[in-house]
Amino acid sequence: MAGRGFEEGGGPVPRLDRNVLQMFHAVMTPGIDIARGVARMLLSAGYAPITEFVPARGLRADICALGPSGDIWIVECKSGVADFRADRKWTGYLDWCDRFFWAVDADFPADLLPAETGLIRADAWGGEMLRDAPEHKLAPARRRALTLRFARNGAERLLKARDPDALIQG
């Protein structure tokens, strides 16, 4: 009986207790929750965010956001101190955005983060900018290339969501 909690062969399919699922979620998804909250905050400010965006070979930003005037922000989400200390590539993002931010939860010690970067506190439901990032304007050619990559990436993701079997040329 498919759909009624029975496997083929007749036995009941074990279901996870809601508390177990909530504990699993709390342990396994802090970075995902931070990214979700940041994306919501950016959307409410008029920015279009994409998660796991590759601005250049060897880099994968947690969030890249395209602003209403074409400005590009990168946000790196850190789920804890160990995650931050292990990140050796963050300075590589500075050449690929107009502003760079860290996003952390309420328990993260903000004094560990470089003062010359922006700071967002976030949870699964939203975020708040605590420190604006200094602006470093991208060169026009790089901005154009990134904006095109951003648009193509968004269009390809939308197509894959509607047609998972679509063959997308890279």
Which of these, 1, 90, 79, 101, lies nearest to 33 by C-alpha position?
A: 79
What's the CA dihedral at 44, 46, 47, 48 to 10 degrees?
Answer: 90
Q: Which residues contact 23 (CB under 8 A, 6 or more apart)?
A: none
Percent of the chain with pLDDT over 90: 75
Query: What pLDDT was estimated at residue 112?
Result: 95
CB 75 within 8 A of CB 103: yes
Give the model confidence (pLDDT) of 78-113 as tens digits: 999 999 999 889 999 999 999 999 999 999 999 999
Query: What pLDDT was estimated at residue 5?
Result: 44
Query: What pLDDT was estimated at residue 12?
Result: 53
Query: What pLDDT was estimated at residue 29?
Result: 52
CB 44 within 8 A of CB 120: no
Spell 82-118 as b/e; 16+ CB within 10 A means b.
eebeeeeebeebeebbbbbbbbbbeebeeeebeeebb
Residue 4 has pLDDT above 80, yes or no: no
Query: What pLDDT was estimated at residue 166?
Result: 86
Of residues 20 and 114, the one with the higher pLDDT is 114
Residue 7 pLDDT grade (very low, low, confident, very high; cuts 50, 70, 90): very low
Compute CA distances 57 → 18, 61, 127, whole Å. Answer: 41, 11, 29
CB 48 within 8 A of CB 61: no
Give the model confidence (pLDDT) of 36-81 as tens digits: 999 999 999 999 999 999 999 999 999 999 999 999 999 999 999 9
- Distance (Å, rounded) from C-alpha 56 to C-alpha 3? 44
